[in-house]
Amino acid sequence: MRLRMTSLITAGAVAVAGLLAPPATAGAAGADGVLVRTIADSPVPVERVRVHAGSRTPVEIDPAAAAGIASGTRVRLRGGTVTPLSSGGASAFGITGTHHVTVVPVYWATTSVPSGQPTTAQLKTSAQALDGYWNAATAGKIRVAVAKVTAWKKIASPASGRCVDIDALETAAKRISGSIGTSGRDHLIIYFPQVSGCGWSGLATLGAGMSGDMVMWLNGSSHLQTIGHEFGHNLGLRHSNGAACYNNAAHQVQVPLSLHCDVVGYDDEYDIMGSRATGYLSAVHLGELGLLPSSASRRLVKTSTVTLAPVSARSGLRQVVVPMGRRTYHLEYRTAVGLDAGVDDEYGPGAGVIVRYIDLSLNVPYENWGETQLVTFSPASERVALAAGESWSGLGMSFAVKAASSTGATVTITQPADVTAPTVNPKPRAVLRTGTVSTTVVPVQVQWGLRDTHEITGLQLARRLGGSTAAPSFVKLATWERGRAVTATANRSNTWLIKATDEVGNTGVTSGAATKVTLNKRPSKTYKGKWKTAKAASYLGGSEQVTKAKNASARFTVTTRSIGWIATKDKTRGKAAVYIDGKKVATINLYKSSRKTKQLVFTRSWSKPGKHTITIVNLSKKTVGVDGLVHLS
Ligand SMILES: [Zn+2]
């Protein structure tokens, strides 16, 4: 059986509840501050996102609201939404080079330093061990120097419930250490005698903290397993987990790999971000640190045979990425050398080809991309890796290790052939949008949906006009776009086409339904109250129906799926209410300091065509006009 490394997490009482303060909601008034992500290494790790604004109590925010924002970034908080104000965070600096750590040991519950605590010399040795590990794990790209270790110092109690207030600890430690620098490679390690109520042995900022430096809180633990792991969090790395997969949704029989899998926290004994004190970083983590050149990782989208170099090698292909549905599988090869020398020992996790996956259907707070799950290919014997001659097949794919030596493993990866072009559903369809119209051109938004088992690598949009035989002229889009503001030609049939290509090379063109754009200049015989005809060449049809009478109304009934009201805006104009099918849906202010005619000021769309009535009611004694209506079939 494998040795379960438990030094990372505090055995015994688990006070996750003490760690999880109820999330505060951002004040409506809003505040600017620094977004800080922290991760606590309790049995169930707890990731928190907080915004520190001056001396105020930090505001805890929903990780989903902060997705994609790096820790250490200045943000604006307003009504629960978070907007970055700078590109800050550690990512603004390079992480390669020499990192400096300052170690500050503190205590508070006793009159003198409690017995059994490490000396400052021992803490220095622990911090120096960071260099031994990270230098070897990154081939010298990340070095660690100990800037200083301050003397043990008694501080005011930062106790909070059963645990500690990490902000109070940070403030107290910085009072002792002084500023530690904000180069993006400066770390503060706060060491304190164990508080068992915390439930975590280490806690770290996931990237930069509130002052641009990176912070680790060590709860009575200075093992490399804890300190090296927290350092990895400071670099932005998340966890290397295990996967426990079952034959069915009822979890009856454990199998190597299926779609019914549980995350087993930290259960990756190859990687310091899992449960191993040493061992090379996974190729996934090397990639996240920018330390895996593009030639060292290959994405496979069709059946292939490749030779993987050991992950410890400094050249060659060290990772294969196989996308399948909502998961990407990451293959790498481990041999018993260097940091992995003990991999084949009695308690080692075993040499061979190992597979991790990232499951995109797992949700925040773990933000998918950083969290990996390690596959155990022989659940009964807890053997993780595939050795030469071994294979696994299922889920429509297979991994077979044909040969393995100290220099490489030859692996055949089969996967179902993707011969299908991306599916465009819903098909491209236009709806009206506000903007300026002319007698020939109307602003519209074209929208569509897109799906494929692989990534979309090419996306283009074109339009065909009714009666035209010319080849459509495609415009390149970003592959993530699912809508675009364009114009349609009035009183013609417009058809939009989407051309999409997947990463396997399948391309398809999908056309939407033809959309007739009907531009009705100054519709007549539908007005109530006092209206008159104003004439000017700048109006759509040379004239506009206008009223200054309060409550005067114009009412039109059209069979359509998108309708728009065209009017003039200027400083003499007032407000109007818009009713759709008898229900008030908007108030439109036509006031504008500089005159603008032919404005599509209101639009409304439906999923299907139907008979709808639009009523415009003057709310003021100022002018409100109807220059025209536009509607789409
Ligand atoms: Zn951790």
Alpha-carbon span 158 to 169, nearest angstrom: 6
* 509 CA from centroid of ligand 1 (Å): 46
Unique residue bearing structure tokens 């309708």: 563
121 CA from centroid of ligand 1 (Å): 26
pLDDT tens, position by position, 530-584: 999 999 999 998 899 999 999 999 999 999 999 999 999 999 999 999 999 999 9
| Confidence band for 2, pLDDT divided at 50, 70 and 90 | very low
Q: What is the pLDDT of residues 202-230, one digit of tens each?
A: 999 999 898 889 999 999 999 999 999 99
| Domain 1-236: CATH architecture, name and number where available | 3-Layer(aba) Sandwich (3.40)
Mean pLDDT of 48-52: 92
| Mean pLDDT along residues 613-617 | 96
Flag whether pLDDT at 20 surpasses 70: no
Ligand 1 centroid to residue 234 C-alpha, Å:
10
Q: State in Å: Cα 168 to ligand 1 middle.
A: 21
pLDDT of residue 417: 85
Centre of ligand 1 to C-alpha 583, Å, is 55
464-473: which pairs have CB atoms within 8 A and are 24 or more residues apart?
A: 464/494, 464/495, 464/496, 464/497, 464/511, 465/489, 465/492, 465/493, 465/494, 465/495, 466/492, 466/493, 466/494, 466/495, 466/514, 466/516, 467/492, 467/493, 472/497
Tens-digit pLDDT profile for residues 334-351: 999 999 999 999 888 999
b/e per residue 430-462 (b: at least 16 CB within 10 A): bbbbebebeeeebbbbbbbebebbbebebbbbb
Q: Which helix (H) or strand (E) holds 73?
A: strand 73-78
Distance 223 CA to ligand 1 centre (A): 14
Q: How far is the CA of 230 from the centre of ligand 1 (A)?
A: 6
Domain 521-632 fold is Jelly Rolls (2.60.120)
Q: Structure tokens of 76?
A: 């604006």
Distance 356 CA to ligand 1 centre (A): 18
What is the whole-number distance in angstroms between the Cα of residue 39 and the centre of ligand 1?
6
Q: Locate 501 and state its tokens.
A: 């290509």
Under CATH, what is the fold of the domain 429-516? Answer: Immunoglobulin-like (2.60.40)
> pLDDT tier at 371 (50, 70, 90 boundaries)?
confident
**461 Cα to the center of ligand 1, angstroms:** 45
Centre of ligand 1 from the C-alpha of residue 367, in Å: 14
What sign does the dihedral 15-19-20-22 (CA atoms) show?
positive
Q: What is the pLDDT of residue 184?
A: 82
Higher pLDDT, 325 or 192: 192
* Predicted local confidence at residue 92, as pLDDT: 47
The pTM assigned to this predicted structure is: 0.76
Task: Kindly report the number of other CB atoms within 10 A of residue 245's CB atom.
Answer: 21
pLDDT band for 627, please (50, 70, 90 cuts): very high
Ligand 1 centroid distance, CA of 472 (Å): 53
Mean pLDDT, the chain, whole residue set:
89
Residue 268 Cα to ligand 1 midpoint, Å, equals 12
Spacing, Cα 204 to ligand 1 middle (Å): 8
Lowest mean pLDDT among 11-20, 479-488, 489-498, 588-597: 11-20
Cα 146 to ligand 1 centroid, rounded to whole Å:
22
Is the separation of the CB atoms in 93 and 183 below 8 Å?
yes
pLDDT for res 87: 61
Please say if the pLDDT value at position 12 is more than 50.
no
Ligand 1 center from residue 201 Cα (angstroms):
10
Domain spans of the chain, in order of start: 1-236, 240-414, 429-516, 521-632
123-160 pLDDT, tens digit each: 999 999 999 999 999 999 999 999 999 999 999 999 99
CA proximity to 70, closest of 91, 99, 96: 91
Please say if the pLDDT value at position 606 is more than 70: yes
Q: Measured in angstroms, how far is the CA atom of residue 534 from the centroid of ligand 1? A: 71
Secondary structure of residue 62 in the 3-state scheme:
coil
User: What separation in Å is there between the alpha carbon of 125 and the centre of ligand 1?
Assistant: 22
The reported pLDDT for the residue numbered 56 is: 77
pLDDT tens track for 246-264: 999 999 999 999 999 999 9
Kindly state the percentage of the chain with pLDDT values over 90: 74
Helix (H) or strand (E) holding 16: helix 16-19
Q: SS in 3 state form for 448-471?
A: CCCECCCCEEEEEEEEEECCCCCC
Average pLDDT over residues 430-455: 94
| 253/231 Cα distance (integer angstroms) | 37
Q: Looking at per-residue confidence, does 598 or 26 come out higher?
A: 598
Gap from CA of 617 to ligand 1 centroid (Å) = 61
CA of 238 to the centre of ligand 1 (A): 7
pLDDT of amino acid 28: 41
Q: How far does the centroid of ligand 1 lie from the alpha carbon of residue 43, in Å?
A: 10
